[in-house]
Structure formats: C-alpha cells, structure tokens
Copies of this chain bind each other. A is one copy, B any other.
Amino acid sequence: MDSKVTHYYDPAEYRLRSFHDAVSGFLDGTTTPRAYLEECLQVIDSREPVVKAFVHMNIPGARAAADGSTARYRAGNPLSPVDGMPIGIKDLFETRDMPAEMGSPIWKGHQSFRDAAHVHALREAGAVIVGKTVTTELGMAHPGPTTNPFDAERTPGGSSSGSAAAVGACMLPAAIGSQVVGSIIRPAGFCGNIAIKPTFGALNRGGGHSALSQSHLGVHAGSLQDAWAVTHAIHQGAGGDPGQPGLFGNEALASSTRPKKLARLATDGWVETDAATREAFEEVIAWLEAQGVAIMDADSHPAIVAFESAIAGSRKLCHDLCEYELRWPLNVYRDMGPGKLSDHMRARMERAEGMTADGYRECLARRDVVKARLADLESVVDGLVTLSQPGIAPMGLASTGNTVFNAPASVSGGPALSLPLMAVEGMPLGFQLMGFAHADTRVAGIARWMLETY
C-alpha cells in the first residue's frame, strides 16, 4: 500500500464499529449487549452535541431491548446476528415509539403508531432501536443540522445524513439509510462507513416517506459483517418491496472472493474529481492489478462502452424521474402555505410541473436501457468500480455534496457498496463497488476480499 494513501478502515482503532466482533464476548459472558449499548451511549453523549446525528432517541426503550438481548445471549439463545445490535433509523421511516418528521416542518411531531416494515423486522430479530437519525428535507437535498464526524465544518452528505454520521462517529455500529440518487453511498464515503445499497426492491421500504420508483433501503455500518447482517435480517422479517423478488443470499456473509475482472467506469463524475482523489483511487486500482485482478475499461469490451453510454447523464435522469414522481405530494405541501417547503423544494416543484407524461415515459425507457446494459455486463466482468464521491466531504453544511458517482447504480438498480479504503487530508473517501441486479452476494464477496486483503 502506497504511503500517500491512508488505509482508512481500521477495526482495531474503531472497535465499536463492529458489533459482530463483540458477539463472542456476549456468548462467553465477558460482556453483554447492554454494556455494548452503554458504550454507544457514552460516545453519543460526548459527540452528539457537535455531530447532531439524531432527531429523537428512546434510551429507556433501547436499554430495555438490550437487557432482553442480554438475557437471550445468557441463555445461549440469541435470535439472529443482529440480536442486541444498536441501530439508528433514518427519520423518513415510522417507528411506534418516536416521531417520523421526514426532515420537514410539515411532518414535525408526526407520531406513527406502528413500526415501518424494516424496523419491525429488526426488532423481531432482536435489534436495539436507539433513535431516529437526521434526514434532509423529505429525503431530498435541503440539509439538516448534522455535521461530518471527521470535521464539523463539513457536510456528512445526505440524505441519510444522521445515519452516516452516527456510524462514522462510532456512536452506533449500524444505521438505516435510503437512496434514490446518492443518499446511501455518498454519505458513507464522506463519513468513512461501509454501506450497502442492495439491488432495487431487495428490502421492504413499507412505512415511511419513500414511494419513489428508485427508492432503495440500505445500511450503513462499521463492518461488512454488520452491514450484511442488518440487510439480511430486514429481508428475513419483512421481505422485499411488494412485487420484487427481494434479497437473495444467506444469513452468513458471502465468502471472500478475489474477482478476476472488474470494469473501471469512466463516468460523468471524473471531470468533477480533484487530483488528490484521483490519485487515491489510482492507488487502489494499482493494488487490485497487483493482486492479479484485470481492470477493464471502455477500450476492453464493447459491453462496457455500451454501459458507459447508457449511464451518461444519469444524474439528470434521476432528477427528472424524481421530480415527476414528486409532483404529488409536493403540490399538496406547497398548497399548505409558505414556509412548508424549502426554496430548493419549491424550485424542484416548479420544474416538476413543467414535465409531461411523455417526458416521464422517455425517462423510464432510458432507465430500462441502463438496466439492460448492466445485465449485458454480467458475463463480462465480476463487478464495476468507481468512486463513491468526487472528493472528500465539501466544506459547509449548505450542500450535502455531489451525487454524480451515485446516479449510475441508482438508475441501474444493481447493488452498490461503499468501502472506506481511501483518505485525503485526513478525511475518508469511499471506493464504490457495483454489482449486478439480484447478485448482492457476489458483490459482497468481492467487497469482503478487498476489505480483508487491502
């Protein structure tokens, strides 16, 4: 590994980042899920005033759940790999014990009587729901108060801002995110997390503000084991989205697998990427090649050319799709009077009202082409690699950063992971690994190999 690159991910330094590593202690009685939770709460106590990851917390509820888990481990009978795991829930989703405010004054104080599908599944698997994490306004671009745990002057990214920051700050081993354009993978990159955006539809997003045709539920975590455990537990209890086949894969994380061939994507984002970030990426690429992985690009195979061509302009495509799909409820919210929507949302609403059904259909057709061109690559390469973001988290909290590297995976519907393999100026940077629809375990196995070998 080149000295210029910080190997960001260091489990030894970030012990709390892996719940998985603590489980043996729960089983042999040297520690307990309650003690693990208390360590998390101490970190939250010390860091939350600056990081501002949470909108609401239910600490008594979390302690009671952790005590229940402690009893199960003591009896040698934990419910699942997430039994006892403290988890944060993005505030776009309902819980029975805390409001769901959607990052919007319209939903201020809105208290559901039920858990969202994934929250119910996680509780049934023994997880400890600690709090609701900050989201941008309705999961779109207008930011909340959360700061980057590595530099409070910088954005944590969005829209899963609080989940990304809570995991990045070692407040929690895992937290729930959702992505329509770049809301899981980009903040994971900015906050040094491992994140999984599974195949579109793999996890049930019922019970919240997430009806867009590209909304994906996913997970931020400090370890790949925990990220997969949460992903699997959600599917186990709640299935995928209605009409979708859901997540394929077993409870155990896929075996570590060295890929033979990876496609390196020359996406739109490279022109927006600074030199230090390019250099960090090149070092990971050089390392992959040194491990015997063939790095392919548009010169190597026509199917890569075709995919690159299909994903060109996909950030704009995402915005067009979202805006048409957001006409309702944004029109309802706009009609509720001034101050209910941010200026940013009002501007999107105006653009949305200029769109036609035919224009939207063209967008859907373009998205179908991306999906088909990704499928064509499935026999050509083992995965696709690019950045999670065009550079470290930008200064200031007014913008949650650039989604240009995230739109392709969102449009394609294939799984994507962000791996915290790089750093620039002491700030983490994510390496994005993309896979093929419904082959989430294949890409997870490659991610595991990279994390264990790099």
Contacts and interface: CB of A to CB of B under 8 A. Distances in A.
Interface stretch (A113-121, A157-165, A168-176, A403-411): A113-121
A396 interface: no
A325 B245 CA distance: 11
Contact of A239 (B117, B336, B360): B360
B207 A239 contact: no
A96 B357 CA distance: 26
A247 B357 CA distance: 9
A42 interface: no
Contacts of A211: 206, 242
A56 interface: no
Nearest to A116: B328
Contact of A324 (B113, B121, B239, B360): B239
A332 B115 contact: yes
A207 B242 contact: no
A49 interface: no
A339 to B, nearest CB: 15
Given A120-B331, A331-B120, A332-B115, A243 B213 contact: yes
Nearest to A248: B357
A17 interface: no
A28 B246 CA distance: 57
Contacts of A245: 357, 360-361, 364
Interface string A212-225: 11100000000000
Interface string A375-406: 00000000000000000000000000000000
Contacts of A206: 211, 328-329
A324 B117 CA distance: 13
Count of identical protomers in the assembly: 2
Given A206-B211, A211-B206, A114 B329 contact: yes
A427 interface: no
A238 interface: yes
A235 interface: yes
A135 interface: no
A211 B243 CA distance: 10
A115 B332 CA distance: 7
A328 B213 contact: no
A277 B178 CA distance: 52
Given A117-B328, A329-B206, A213 B242 contact: yes
Contact of A120 (B106, B332, B364): B332
Interface in A243-283: 243-247
Contacts of A357: 235, 239-240, 245-247
Nearest to A213: B243
Interface string A304-347: 00000000000000000000110111011100100000000000
Given A121-B328, A239-B324, 8 more contacts: A113-B336, A114-B333, A204-B328, A207-B328, A212-B242, A213-B243, A235-B357, A238-B328
29 contacts: A96-B332, A106-B113, A114-B332, A114-B333, A114-B336, A115-B332, A120-B331, A121-B328, A206-B211, A206-B328, A206-B329, A211-B242, A212-B242, A213-B242, A214-B243, A238-B327, A239-B324, A239-B325, A239-B327, A239-B328, A239-B357, A239-B360, A240-B357, A242-B325, A243-B364, A245-B361, A246-B360, A246-B361, A247-B357
